[in-house]
A and B are shown apart, each in its own frame.
Chain A
Amino acid sequence: MPVNRSGASSVFAWLCPIVLVIALAATGVMLVLYGTTAPYAAYISMAGMAVALVLGGLYQASNVQVSRSLLTQLAKLSSLQNEYIEPEQFEQQLHQSKLPPQARRMILEIYQTLESDQDSIGALQQKSARSEVRAHLAESRVSEINCVIEGLTEPVIMVDQYGELALINPAAVTLMGMQDVAVGTRIDDALPCDSIVQLLNETRRRKLKSSRVAEIELADPAGEKHWYRITVNTVADDDNESGGESNFGAVAVMRDISGYKAIQRRNAEFVSAVSHEMKTPLAGIKAYTELLADGEAEDEETRDEFLGVISGQADRLQRLIDNLLNLARIEAGVVSVSKKPRSLNDLLDEAAAIVQPTAEQKNITLNVELSPMYLGVLADRDMILQAAINLLSNAIKYTPDGGKVTLRSRLSDREVHFEVEDTGVGLSPEDCEMVFEKFYRVKKDQKMASGTGLGLPLAKHIVEDVHGGTLTVKSELNHGSTFMIALPTVQVIEHAS
């Protein structure tokens, strides 16, 4: 596009060739009229050329001036543009500039075009920025989710719609004992657990959004078996949301429920044990009642014997139920515990007095060797009394006729101790480990006594869980046992005074 020139520049532009042509024409005329001897022809020609050169120089200078002026004006406009001014203001500034009108028009047109493009570019830039922010947020979210999945203690395994491993977290890798984790390989080859592979494949092949739960037992790399509850959900293919048959991957989240299973098993065993323990006395009651009803006991002595058995078994059943209820209530924490500073020796004296008749029936000597010092304990009277009675009763039960049971108490640094020692049948090391378990009864001694298998667990619970003490046993088979209780002591000011 040609640049508009100033008026002077145009004059120079036109005069330059005209002067040159006139000079050349004058030179020609002179040469025609006078031939080569024409006077002044060379001077006229040289003068014309000189004038033409001067005019050309002026024209060039004028052009440079115009360019500089244009650049200055444009620079001014440009500086205005940097500051951003309203279009009306720009037009006013442009109008006040010294640019030629044509240049002003052209600049205005360019400005207006740029102005309209600026809006589009701004919108695009905003869109681009938003997309970048979204992409960054999505990347950040993926990173966070990955971090969560990686940190989960629950194994997580995901398979894509092609049956290839899409994701596996470290917990799953550890559980499976996998050395190389090759995401992208078929799970049939990648996972060393057929049941999980089957679950994942079956779920993704359903072609329906679904969820299923299964419980399986797996051995960890150390060989220890764990029960897992596996929840498998389909994972929809996002690319296929527009329609057509959906393709699904599947994700399995595994939760270790070994603890829950152990509780279930213990509950089942407990119910089974309770049932067994109740049926035994019931069997006696039913059998002897039937014998009496059928008139099998013909003499009074036999009838009395049978009635005695029924009564004894009914008592046994009642003891069992009472112990069960006590244990359940104490374990559940529903028994109101009334711990007060008390004299341990007073409680032990009371317990010894209660079991004394039983010991006498078996001709067992019950020695009570209590500390002469005051032994203060913060205790629930009934509970500690129950624990002491249970230990003394056990000792008497499992000590043969004519044996000896000793009850001792003493004070140590910050604890008071009491122990029940017997000269009974004793316990094997295996029995010592199991003797505080519910319903555990030493097999070889079952015929010696009809216990409920709850006395020692109850005593242990009272001493350890309710009073923060310890109950332990030491024993030698055929040489007797010693059950030892330690309880925290308390300073009783009243007594000291």
Chain B
Amino acid sequence: MATKVLIADDEMHILRAAEFKLKRSGFDVTCVEDGQEAWEAIQVERPDILITDFHMPRMDGLMLCRTVRSNESTATLPIIMLTAKGFDLSGDDGTSELGIAAVLAKPFSPRGLVQCIQEVLETGTYVPNVATF
């Protein structure tokens, strides 16, 4: 059974590229365009991993992560943050305490995204290639 990935991003072309690559890599992909929609999809789809943008309408990435962690049924869901904020996230903005497994900076490599998902699912963590940042 294919690994279920939920991707939340308000940029359609990012969603399309990630969806295309992940599907071709054998993942079962669901795309949503904001945090609220993502939370609703998580409860229905029960994904194995969540990939979320930081800035999104209605509910942003951090709020989505807090919502996921505060709910018992989704508290252990692995999360990867895909964001254009990049280095800003290295600061103390709550990403570590929310148990975010990896932060991928935009512009991102679809190949790197697949590798990241696999590592997070296998080890729970992901050490990015320095060049990625």
Could you tell me which A residues sit within 8 Å of B by CB distance? 272, 275-276, 279-280, 282-288, 290-291, 294, 296, 309, 312-313, 443-444, 446-447, 450
Chain B residues within 8 Å of A444, by CB: 57-58
Q: Which residues of A contact B101 (CB under 8 A)?
A: none
With A283-B84, A309-B16 known to touch, is A446 a contact of B106 (CB < 8 Å)? no
B109 with A280: CB separation less than 8 A = no
Q: Does B119 contact A (CB under 8 A)?
A: no
Interface residue from B24, B34, B106 paired with A283 (Cβ < 8 Å): B106
Contacts of B86 in A (CB 8 A): 275, 279
**Residues of chain B within 8 A of A283, CB atoms compared:** 11, 14, 84, 106-108
B11 to chain A: closest residue by CB: A280
- Chain A residues within 8 Å of B88, by CB: 272
Is B110's CB within 8 Å of the partner chain A? Answer: yes
Residue B28 at the A interface, CB < 8 A? no
Interface residue? B33 (CB, 8 A): yes
**A291 B21 Cβ-Cβ under 8 A:** yes
In this complex, what residue of A is CB-closest to B60?
A443
Whether B12 and A447, one on each chain, are in contact in the complex, defined by CB atoms closer than 8 angstroms, is yes
B4 at interface, CB cutoff 8 A: no
- The smallest C-beta distance from A448 to any residue of chain B, in angstroms, reads 10
The residues of A that contact B12 with a CB separation of less than 8 Å are: 447
Tell me if B13 and A290 are in contact (CB < 8 A).
Answer: no
Q: Is B10 an interface residue (CB 8 A)?
A: yes
**Contact among B10, B24, B106 for A279, CB-based, below 8 A:** B106
Minimum CB–CB distance for A262 against chain B, Å: 19
Q: Is the CB of B13 within 8 A of A284?
A: yes
Known: A288-B17, A309-B13, A447-B12. A282 touches B57 (CB 8 A): no
Query: With A282-B107, A296-B24 in contact, is A276–B85 under 8 Å at CB?
Result: yes
Chain B hits for A288, CB < 8 A: 13, 17
Contacting A443 at CB < 8 Å: which of B16, B58, B107? B58
- C-alpha spacing A341/B10, complex, angstroms: 45
User: For B106, what are the chain A residues with a Cβ–Cβ distance below 8 Å?
Assistant: 279-280, 282-283
Q: Which chain B residues border A272 with CB–CB below 8 Å?
A: 85, 88
Contact present for B108 and A286 (CB under 8 Å): yes
CB of B55 within 8 Å of the partner chain = yes
Main secondary structure of the interface of A (DSSP, over half): helix
- Contact of A287 with B108 in the complex, beta carbons under 8 Å: yes
A280 touches B84 (CB 8 A): yes
Tell me how many residues of B have a C-beta within 8 Å of chain A. 27
> Can you add 18 more A-B contacts, CB < 8 Å, to A283-B84, A287-B13?
A272-B85, A275-B84, A279-B105, A283-B106, A284-B11, A286-B108, A286-B109, A287-B18, A287-B21, A287-B107, A287-B108, A288-B17, A291-B20, A296-B21, A296-B110, A309-B17, A446-B10, A447-B10
From 35 to 59 in chain B, residues with beta carbon under 8 angstroms from any chain A beta carbon are 55, 57-58
- Which 10 pairs of residues, A with B, have the shortest CB-CB distance? A279-B84, A286-B107, A287-B17, A283-B106, A443-B57, A283-B107, A284-B13, A282-B107, A276-B84, A279-B106
Chain B residues near A446 (CB, 8 Å)?
10, 57
Q: Report how many A-B pairs have Cβ atoms within 8 Å.
A: 74
Query: Contact: B110 with A287, CB < 8 Å?
Result: yes
A296 to B114, alpha carbons, bound, how many Å? 14
Whether the pair A291, B17 counts as a contact (CB closer than 8 A) is yes
Taking CB atoms, residues of chain B closer than 8 Å to A313 are 13
Least distance between A4 CB and chain B CB atoms (Å): 110
Least CB separation from A297: chain B residue: B20
Judge whether B33 and A294 touch: CB under 8 Å: no
Cα A443 to Cα B56 in complex, Å, equals 7
Query: What would be 21 A-B contacts, judged by CB atoms less than 8 Å apart?
Result: A275-B84, A276-B85, A280-B106, A282-B107, A283-B14, A283-B106, A283-B107, A283-B108, A284-B13, A284-B17, A285-B107, A286-B107, A287-B18, A290-B111, A291-B20, A296-B24, A296-B110, A309-B16, A312-B13, A313-B13, A447-B57
Question: Are A294 and B57 within 8 A (Cβ)?
Answer: no
A32 to B21, CA, bound (A): 175
How distant is the Cα of A486 from the Cα of B99 in the complex, in angstroms? 53
Q: How far is the CA of A444 from the CA of B18 in the complex (A)?
A: 22
Residues A287 and B14 in contact, CB atoms below 8 Å apart: yes
Q: Which residues of B contact A285 (CB under 8 A)?
A: 107
Q: Which residues of B contact A290 (CB under 8 A)?
A: 109-111
Closest B residue to A316 by CB, please name it: B13
Contact with A along B94-108 (1 / 0, CB 8 A): 000000000001111
Closest Cβ neighbor of B87 among chain A residues: A275
Closest residue of chain B to A305, judged by CB? B16
Instruction: Please report the C-alpha to C-alpha distance between residue A270 and residue B10 in the assembled complex, in whole angstroms.
Output: 21
- Nearest CB to that of B109 among chain A residues? A290
| Minimum CB–CB distance for B43 against chain A, Å | 22
Interface residues of B in 80-132 (CB under 8 A from A): 84-86, 88, 105-111
Chain A residue with minimal CB distance to B84?
A279
Report Cα–Cα, A34/B106, bound state, in Å: 164
Choose from B14, B21, B55, B105 the contact partner of A284 (Cβ within 8 Å). B14
Q: Return B12 CB to nearest CB of chain A, in Å.
A: 7
> Which A-chain residue is minimally distant from B105 (CB atoms)?
A279
In angstroms, Cα B11 to Cα A450, docked, is 9
The smallest C-beta distance from A296 to any residue of chain B, in angstroms, reads 6
In whole angstroms, how far apart are the Cα atoms of A233 and B111 in the complex? Answer: 59
A85 CA to B12 CA, complexed, in Å: 113
